[in-house]
Amino acid sequence: MADPVIYLDHQATTPCEPAVVEAMAPWWSAQFANPASRSHRPGLLAAAAVEQARAQIATALRVESTAVVFTSGATEANNLALKGLAEAELHAGGRRRHLLCLSTEHRAVLDPLRYLSRHGFELTELAVPASGLVDLEQLRQALRPSTLLVSVMAANNEIGVLQPIAAIAELCRSRGIRLHCDGAQAVGHIPLLPAALGIDLLSLSGHKLYGPKGIGALVVAPGVTLAPQLHGGSQEQGLRAGSLPVPLIVGLATALELALADQAARAVRLKALRDQLWQQLQELGGVHRNGAPAPRLAHNLNVWIEGVEGSALQRRLRPHLAISSGSACSSGEPSHVLQALGLSRQQAAAALRFGLGRHTSAADINSAASLVRAAVTELRQG
């Protein structure tokens, strides 16, 4: 029997915790009713489960329950936030047409914004230095009286750097600009309270925090008006049509509570393992960390390695080690994030992203480092 693959791709997705699976179980079969069917008891029970989960999430994020809008994940939440805000501005007769984001945003932000730029809006994709961290003065100078929205992710999905969201929010608030934050990689991993930070729209996803795939949410601040992007029903305050997936919603709420319960201790443990991995990889020489050493997610390490061809390195590691060279949504192309930091296509292709997780052990890290060292040494010797 082949040795098990060491999984270090937790920023692509995380395993669903057994307690989350258990919480979802009754809602798949025994209690399967549609929560929109309020004329009978099973439907009312399903509706109550949805609202209890919504209240759990709202309490965890310290917002009102009405602020939580369920979606199929962060991608849909991003689209609802970005397109919804832009369309609402048009419908209201507003004149703001300028949108701003960082060049290192996830494609689930870049693509909707680029779509809007082809339909009457103007988009600025702000460059970042090699650290990956926004230059606040450069951001301030890029803002205009016509700026409607700024979108900056809290934690980058590839290089793990943490942006100064509170400072960005202050720049936006003083100018009446809405701030959207893709929090898919941050919620459940770092303290992130949208109201306290000044975030108007926060996207999150269940499968990034040990919950199920296919469920997420958009947290909408009071006073923010959005145009719905899915039509065909009045669910979710008219913002998102479609029957609600009760098991997934229950799973999301459970996963978030569990993630917050061990968030601090998990970060301390994974940071130590991450730093151990970095030290071991440095023994190779020619290993460069992508993005600032801090502030960044405790469970992220992204490096590029001199003297190897990226696809050859991935082929050697694939039978033993589950890691990636970039976003899970990049379709094999060299990372646009790493190229935005100044890496060439060849350097970006020779990058490795290690995403540690709740169940990653010291033995996993030692084995991963040994596998990478062996593969790189072999490739360099040619």
Task: Tell me the DSSP string of 107-169.
Answer: HHHHHHHHHHHTTT-EEEEE---TT----HHHHHHH--TTEEEEE--SB-TTT-BB--HHHHH
CB 49, CB 26: distance < 8 Å: no
Tell me the residue type at 283: E
45 within some domain: yes
CB 382 within 8 A of CB 314: no
pLDDT (tens digit per residue) in 301-351: 999 999 999 999 999 999 999 998 765 555 567 899 999 999 999 999 999
* Residue whose tokens read 């919480």: 23
Please check whether residues 267 and 250 belong to one and the same domain.
no
Q: 126 and 218, same structural domain?
A: yes
- Residue in this structure with the two tokens 């048009």, named with its chain if needed: 90
* Spatial distance between the Cα atoms of 155 and 181, rounded to a whole number of angstroms: 9
Give the separation between CA 180 and CA 112, rounded to whole angstroms. Answer: 13
Residue from 179, 184, 185, 235 nearest 77 by CA: 184
**Whether 329 is catalytic:** yes
Contact by Cβ (8 Å): 302, 353: yes
The answer as to whether 331 is a domain residue is yes
Distance in angstroms (rounded) separating the CA atoms of residues 379 and 153:
36
Look at residues 236, 261, 286 and tell me which one is the last residue of a structural domain: 261
Tell me which of 261, 296, 323 is where a domain ends: 261
pLDDT tens series, the chain, 382 aa: 557 899 999 999 999 999 999 999 999 999 999 999 989 999 999 999 999 999 999 999 999 999 999 999 999 999 999 999 999 999 999 999 999 999 999 999 999 999 999 999 999 999 999 999 999 999 999 999 999 999 999 999 999 999 999 999 999 999 999 999 999 999 999 999 999 999 999 999 999 999 999 999 999 999 999 999 999 999 999 999 999 999 999 999 999 999 999 999 999 999 999 999 999 999 999 999 999 999 999 999 999 999 999 999 999 999 999 998 765 555 567 899 999 999 999 999 999 999 999 999 999 999 999 999 999 999 999 7
Is residue 137 in some structural domain? yes
Number of domains in the chain: 2
pLDDT at 266: 98
Cis peptide before 295 (omega within 30 of 0): yes
Looking at the fold, whether 257 and 267 belong to one and the same domain comes out as no
Instruction: Identify whether residues 185 and 271 lie together within a single domain.
Output: no
User: Six-digit token pair at 9?
Assistant: 């791709």
User: Residues, the chain, total?
Assistant: 382
> Which has the closest alpha carbon to 258: 13, 7, 18?
18
Whether 128 maps to a domain, the answer reads yes
- Which of 16, 101, 172, 329 is labelled catalytic? 329
Q: Do 268 and 298 fall into the same domain?
A: yes
- On whether both 209 and 319 belong to a single domain, the answer is no
Please check whether residues 60 and 138 belong to one and the same domain: yes
Residue 358 lies in a domain: yes
- What pLDDT, on a 0 to 100 scale, did the predictor assign at position 326? 63
Amino acid at 342: G
Asked whether residue 336 is assigned to any structural domain, the reply reads yes
**Among the three residues 210, 233, 261, which one is the final residue of a domain in this structure?**
261
- pLDDT of 332: 63
In this structure, are 237 and 278 located in the same domain? no
Residues 302, 286 within the same domain:
yes
Residue 119 domain flag: yes
Question: Does an H or E element contain 301, and which?
Answer: strand 300-305
Place of tokens 């997705």: 13
Residue 364's domain is classified under what CATH number?
3.90.1150.10
Question: Do residues 178 and 201 touch, judged by C-beta distance below 8 A?
Answer: yes
Whether residue 145 has a cis bond before it, omega within 30° of 0: no
Give the domain CATH number at 238: 3.40.640.10
Per-residue pLDDT, 40: 95
Q: Is the pTM of this model over 0.85?
A: yes
Same domain, residue pair 124 and 269: no
Which residues on adjacent β-strands are paired with residue 282? none
The C-alpha angle with vertex 328 and arms to 324 and 331, in degrees rounded to 5, equals 100
Looking at residue 331, what is its pLDDT? Answer: 57
Domain of 298, in residue numbers: 6-15+263-381
54 located within any domain: yes
Return d(Cα 82, Cα 203) in angstroms, integer: 11
Amino acid identity for residue 254 in this structure: T
**With b meaning 16 or more CB within 10 Å and e meaning fewer, what string describes 166-176?**
eebbebbeeee
Same domain? 321 vs 296? yes
Quick one: 250 and 295 in the same domain? no
DSSP 339-380: HHTT--HHHHHTEEEEE--TT--HHHHHHHHHHHHHHHHHHH
